[in-house]
Amino acid sequence: MPSTAALVQNTIDHLNLNCERLKEKRKVARQDLEERIAATRQNGKTLNGLVADVFKDPHFWPEFFTVYLIRLGNIAKNFLVQNNYTG
Mean pLDDT throughout 22-39?
Answer: 96
Q: Give this prediction's pTM.
A: 0.82
**pLDDT above 90 (res 12):** yes
pLDDT at 86 over 90: no
pLDDT digits (tens, 9 = 90+) for 32-67: 999 999 999 999 999 999 999 999 887 888 889 999
Query: Residues 34, 40, 41, 42: what is their CA dihedral angle, to the nearest 10 degrees?
Result: 100
Residue 61: DSSP 8-state: P
Contact of 50 with 40, CB cutoff 8 Å: yes
Q: What is the mean pLDDT of residues 15-28?
A: 96
* pLDDT band at residue 80 under the 50/70/90 scheme: very high
% of the chain with per-residue pLDDT over 90? 80
The number of angstroms, rounded, from the C-alpha of 17 to the middle of its chain's C-alpha atoms is 15
Q: Alpha-carbon dihedral of residues 45, 49, 51, 56, nearest 10 degrees?
A: -160
